[in-house]
Each structure stands twice: as structure tokens, then as C-alpha cells.
Amino acid sequence: MFREALTIFSLLCLLVFSNKIQAQDKTVDQIVAIVGNNIVLKSDIEDRYMQNKAQGITSDGDMKCEILEDFLVEKLLVAEAELDTTIEVTDSQINESMDQRIQYFIKNMGSIKAVEEYFREPMAKIKMNLSEVIKNQILTSKMQTKIGDKVSVTPAQVRYYYRNIDPAEIPLVPTQVEYSEISIYPKIPIEKENSIKARLREMRKRIENGENFATMAVLYSEGPSAPNGGELGYMGKGQLDPVYAEAAFNLREGKISNVVKSDFGYHIIQLVDRKGDKINTRHIILIPKPSQEALDKAKNALDSLADMIRTEKITFEEAALHFSADKNSKNGGGIAINPYTMSSKWKPEELDPTVSKVLSELKPNEISDPFVSKNDKQRIVYKIVKLINRKKEHKANMQEDYQLLDDSYLQKKKAEALDKWIGDKQSKTYIHIDDSYANCNFKFKNWKRQ
């Protein structure tokens, strides 16, 4: 009786999803798995496989088997999340994640056209297909978080974990440095700034007379978005430079701003589209370059300041407060804060390569000679740096790395809680997997094959 009901259910699933399959114009249209009241189509696996490849995701095993198991777990988690009234996914969350993913595709493939050719579908269809995928992934993530939130560990448990852990499993703490800096921006002559503004005004006039903004951006813009026609993708006010955001959010669709000066340089901006509290803009940016004379002046000023610090006429902290142009560090004695972790510790790969090379040659409390670098807004700057501390790569220990060990043990317990939850759900849920996937080496061994 149960198998007869299942057969009817499978036929209903085929009828419900036949339109979707036909619309996708796929040659594959079979149901490869059933989890409770949900199905996984072979076309779903093929689509996810192509998305993974487009995002540079690789695997040492059979990626399609891994994708199928991801779907099986996802179906269990999504079903539970949909019953939980405290879990919701907003259109804004979906759109933000989708925009990030599409921008990643464009960045890696070179253009919107290349993305459409790769997926063999227009961008509107790609976004439509991604929408449900992203929604389920967000639901899955929120459900996993909720399961993990019930787990906690005590300091005594962390100590016991550390004493009894296999030495080979003790986390490795990478090399980290802490440093202070003083920055001086070489002065840009007013004549050079006026020349750049005049060039941008001329470009604006040419675009208003019929030339293509995106083409002009590819040809002339000096920002990283130039290959994409200057397009930045959907962003909220908080994601943009405040001056840029002020000008961009006041534009009407298709209109072009006057010349705008931000911390990055000079722009003209076009509003492409508005979606809720986010806008998509394209821009052309020109960045003023200092003269050699200005560079020499900045270097000499820092050279004198470094000598004063070395001869203890002024402390590094006082010099940073009074002379550094870096707003992020000057009030903290020049200590550079890592934006990834909001701490003073940096892994070498997180540093600007120029800064990393200079620090690698210093001893603790030693001050560098002035050198040219770029700030986080890609503006040319002269710097001196002082190495505060360098911790070499080492196995984590309770004295120096308690928080890391605490986090490591907590994540381990959360993973165990999730695995237990999945095992419980496996035993209570009807699961059917097609014979074509019978040889998959799944992580969870209790998937039932009826």
C-alpha cells in the first residue's frame, strides 16, 4: 500500500515539475531522489554543478555525488526551517546574495554576455533559476545556525579537550604580525585636479550627446570596475563612499551626475537601476597622480619624522596623532587595525604586499625607512611602519591561543550536533535515491535506498 501511494506521489511530482523541466530545455529530466515530500531533479544537480564550476569550486571526489548529498541534507533542513515561524528569508536577502553571485560570475568570466553564453540562458532566466537555490541555501544556513545555537562549551571542557586531543589535530596558528604606521599623502597640485575635472566634464558631455557610458568606462576609467563598463552592482548606502552615495542616490535612472570627488578620486556616475534600498550604478573614475616633486617632499618629511622618533624627540604614538593622514589609525597611536577581524593582528597575506615585505625585514620596535604604498582606497601614500610584534606559526596552546581553541572545540561540537540531527531525520523521513547514484560514497551512511 505504501509503495502504491509512493508511486502515485512520484507521478504527481513528475506532473508538477514537468513545466519547469520543459522550460529549462534540458535533456535530463529524471527524478534522482525523493526526500519526504520533496524531489531532486537531475537537472538541479547539473545546474548546481555548472554554478560551482563558474565559482571556481573544485572537488577531489565525485562532485555530482557531493552535490546530490548537499541537496538531500538541504531538503531535510529546508523542510524543518519552513515549519519554524522564527526563520524567514526576505527578498532583500535573496537579492543581495544573488547580486554578489552574479558579480562574481561577471568578474571571472569577463562580461554579462560571457555568463549568458556559459549558462546558455539570458541573465533574467539565470537570476530566476538562482532565486530558489539561494532561498533554500539561506534557509539551510539559518536552520544550521539554529541547531548550533543550542550548543555551548565551558572553559573546563575546553581544557579537557586540549589535554586529550590528538597532537596532529591541534590547530595551527599562522604567522601573525602587529604594527603601527604613519602615512603622508603627497600633495596633488590644484592644476592637476582641475585638469581631471575638465576631462570628466568633457566625457559627460560626450555621453549626453550619444556616446555609450559603459564603453567610455572601459576605455578611460581607472577603477577595477572598468572591464565591466564601470558597473558596480547593487549596493546600499553603507557599502559606498558617503560622497559617492549622496550623489548616486539622488539620480534618476539613466541620468549622469556632475563631477564628484570621493576619497577614491573623481567620478561621473550613472544610475542604472534602483531596487528597494539598493542601487546599481556605473561610473568613470580618474585618480590624481602626485608629481615626483610631491613624492620627494612626502618622503623627506617622513624621513625627518622617523629620525625624531628614533632619537626619542617624539614618540611614535605622538607622531601618528599629530602628523599621520590615516584617519583609521592616527587616534590609536598608529596601530593598524585589520578590517577582516577588527583586531590588531594580521596574517601576512592580509597585508598590502609592500607593507608585508617591509615588515618582514624589521625586528620588534624597529622603524622602517619611508616607502611608497597604497591605502585601502588605492590612493598613493608614503608610509613608515613600526613592527610591534611577530608571532611565528605554531601549534595552538592554552596560554596564547585560548580563544582559538575555544572556537575550535565549539565548532566541533556544533558539527557533531548537526550530524546527529541529520541522522535522526534520516531515520524518520522517507528517502529514495535513484540507482544511477548507488555507488556514491556519501558522508552520511544512512541514506535509505528504497
Domains of the chain: 2-151+412-437 (1.10.4030.10), 176-187+290-395 (3.10.50.40), 190-286 (3.10.50.40)
Backbone φ and ψ of 281, nearest 5°: -125, 160
Neighbour count for residue 18 (Cβ, 10 Å) = 11
**Secondary structure (3-state) at 346:** strand
DSSP code, position 298: H
Residue 12, CA distances (Å) to 37, 401, 421 in order:
11, 56, 29
**Secondary structure (3-state) at 399:** coil
* Residue ranges of E strands in 287-414: 371-374, 380-391, 394-395
Cβ atoms of 87 and 81 closer than 8 Å: yes
Backbone φ and ψ of 391, nearest 5°: -105, 120
Helix 112-119 to helix 91-109 angle (10° resolution) is 100
Residue 227's Cβ-count burial label (10 Å; 0-12, 13-18, 19+) is middle
Neighbour count for residue 128 (Cβ, 10 Å) = 12
- The structure's pTM equals 0.60
| Dist CA 124 CA 280 (whole Å) | 16
Q: What is the pLDDT of residue 3?
A: 38
Q: What is the pLDDT of residue 4?
A: 36
Low-confidence ranges of the chain (pLDDT < 70): 1-29, 448-450
Helix 2-24 to helix 42-54 angle (10° resolution) is 50
Neighbour count for residue 135 (Cβ, 10 Å) = 18
Nearest 10 degrees: Cα torsion 414, 145, 147, 31: -110
Alpha helices in 150-210 (DSSP H): 155-164, 190-208
Q: How many residues does the chain have?
A: 450
Question: Comparing C-alpha atoms, which of 312, 323, 315, 310 is closest to residue 368?
Answer: 310
Query: Residue 269: enclosing H or E segment and its boundaries?
Result: strand 266-275
β-bridge partners, 256: 270
| Dist CA 81 CA 280 (whole Å) | 32
Residue 209's Cβ-count burial label (10 Å; 0-12, 13-18, 19+) is exposed
Q: Helices H, strands E: what count in the chain? A: 14, 12
β-bridge partners, 367: 386
DSSP code, position 169: G
| Dist CA 293 CA 200 (whole Å) | 25
Q: Which residues contact 142 (CB under 8 A, 6 or more apart)?
A: 81, 87, 89
β-bridge partners, 343: 338
Q: ∠ CA 125-128-131 to the nearest 5 degrees?
A: 150
